[in-house]
Structures are given as structure tokens and as C-alpha cells.
Amino acid sequence: MDFAAAIMITVITATTPLLIAALGELVVEKSGVLNLGIEGMMATGAACGFAAAILTGSTFVGVAAAIMAGMALSAVFAFLVLGLAANQVASGLALTIGGIGLSGLIGAGFVGTTRQPVPRFEFPDLSAVELLKDFPYISEIAGVLQFVFGQDPFVYVSLVLAGGIFWFLGRSRAGLLLKAIGENQVSAHSLGLKVVWTRFLAILFGGACAGLAGAYLSLVYTPFWSPGMTAGRGWIALALVVFASWRPVRLLFGAYFFGAATVLQLHAQAASLGIPAQLLSAFPYIATIIALVIMSVGRTSIGAPASLGTPFVPDR
């Protein structure tokens, strides 16, 4: 049981940054904008979050700095694709390259520095309570409750975020308007909807989520800074949106599937199961390439917003 719980905790920690970043990208793409700069925003968020946390001694300040860094880069992207109607793919790739370079510059003075990770919640041990210690299976129940309610705060934020986006896109008026803009930007504009402003807010939200995911990497997952620590997670988050067919619930399960695949290769190698660890390690990235190919050749048939990636220039 302890070994299974350890594996599950590892899967959760590997999944959380993917889920947060992918949820932000889902909202962006639902508005009709394709942002390939998630990797760069995550890297910059990780560097800024760790630097701010070290300099101030506050995790909260570090998280806020990471979110602001992601939003700042996303605002640059929004200026290019919304203000100048630049190509979204090229702008996103430039954002990734620029973000990775900027993160290296910001984090250069913090390489090798470590700090205590964000603590997990401590659920009271029911088996130690005098009135409950003789209750059947109390130790097992206490273990399950500790596992469910004893994760770090980011895990619960990611789950609340998933539920909130599910409600926003499916139940709220603003979410329905955002999806309408993503499906047909010309018709939405003719009906008086604020296409550019809505997309701008969606892009900022996606940047905030990417920055938050980066903060998780440097403040929780590996509580130190090193160049390249995102390790392609931004691209996996992008692929997750495609695998989920742009649906929040599928995205939630898909994120945990990718997290499990990422962790599985480590345990398979340790257990000597005979499966090449290199193959399992490469699986998430192979799946990412497949997803990007699907996005480019058949996006309409798998539920992508009809206006995804199409520049919008309002009539004057």
C-alpha cells in the first residue's frame, strides 16, 4: 500500500504542471488563438518564481511573480497576433525561444540554489484519536484521508481550475460567447461581440496558467532552478488539448494519463520489467508529435474551434 501510494503521489506531482498549463491553453484555443509559446512562458515563470521566492523568502511572492511573468510574455504574444495580426505559429515559436532564453538570463544567478519545497497539507491522524483508535480499519481510512487531503496546494488549485473552466465554458454566458468567437470570428464580430478584447483576456489567462505551472516546477516538483527544467512539458500540455478534443473533462483524465506515462518509465526501469525505459520515456514526446500532426491535418474533424489559428482583422 505504501509503494502504491508513493507511485500515485509521484504521478500527481508529475501531472499537476501539465494540467495547469493545458487548462490555460484550452481557454486560449477555445477563443480561436493558437499559442505555441507555453514552453517559454513556463520556463520564464519557473525562473521568476524561484528568483522571487529566494529573494523575498515568500512562496506566495514567488507564485505571484511567476504568474505575472507568464502574463507579461502572453501580452507580448497578444500584441503580435491581435494588434499586428502576425502569424500565430511563428509568434508562438518566437515566444518559446525568447522565453527559454529569458529564463536562462533571470535564473543564471540562482543555479545550484535550493529551498524547501512548498509543504503538503497535514490531515489529522484519526488512528491516534483515543475514541477512534479501536474502530475497524481506522488506520487504512486514516491513510486514505491523508492521501486525499494531504497534497500540496497546487494540486487542489489545478482540480478547482479544471472544474471552474468546465463550468465557465459549458454554463456561463461569457464562456459561451468565447466559444462562439472561436468558432466563427467574423459572425461574432458582426453581432457586436468584442473579438479582440475577449481573445486578449483569454491569452492573458493562458499566460497566467503557464506561469503558475512553471512556479510548480521550481517551487514544488524540483525545488531548485536549472536551465531547461521544463523539459518539453509545454509541448506536452499543447498536445493534451488536442487529445482531449478541446474538452475540460477529457483534458483532466488525459493529463493524469500523461503524468502516469512519464512516471512509469522510471518505475519500470527500477523494477527491471524488460520494457525498454527509453521507449517509455520517449512516449509522451512521440504522442506530442502525433498530436501536432493531427492538429495540422484534421483539426475540424476532431472538434477544434473553426477559427483556430486564423488572424482576425476587424472591418473599419
Q: What is the mean pLDDT of residues 132-138?
A: 61
Q: What sections of 135-232 are H helices per DSSP?
A: 138-149, 153-171, 173-183, 185-190, 195-216
75-86 CB burial, b ≥16 within 10 A, e <16? ebbbebbbeeee
pLDDT on residue 133: 58
Q: What is the mean pLDDT of residues 285-302?
A: 63
**Which residues neighbour 56 within 8 Å (Cβ) at sequence distance 6 or greater?**
62
pLDDT band at 45 (very low <50, low <70, confident <90, very high): very high
**Angle of the 38-56 helix axis to the 59-78 helix axis, nearest 10:** 150
Beta partners for residue 114, in sequence order: 224
Would you call 279 exposed, middle or buried from its count of C-beta atoms within 10 A (0-12, 13-18, 19+)? exposed
Question: Could you read off the pLDDT of 242-291 as tens digits, one per residue?
Answer: 888 899 998 999 899 888 877 776 666 666 666 666 676 677 677 667 76
Question: Could you read off the pLDDT of 179-217 as tens digits, one per residue?
Answer: 999 999 999 998 899 999 999 999 999 999 999 999 999
In angstroms, rounded to a whole number, what is the distance separating the alpha carbons of residues 179 and 286?
30
Structural domain boundaries in the chain: 2-117+152-302
In angstroms, rounded to a whole number, what is the distance separating the alpha carbons of residues 45 and 154?
15
pLDDT on residue 300: 46
- On whether the CB atoms of residues 110 and 50 are closer than 8 A, the answer is yes
Just give the CATH number of 2-117+152-302. 1.10.3470
In angstroms, rounded to a whole number, what is the distance separating the alpha carbons of residues 316 and 312?
12
Question: Could you read off the pLDDT of 98-121 as tens digits, one per residue?
Answer: 999 999 999 998 988 888 888 887
Dig out the grid coordinates for 302 from the structure: 476532431
Q: Which of 127-136, 163-172, 247-256 has the highest mean pLDDT?
A: 163-172
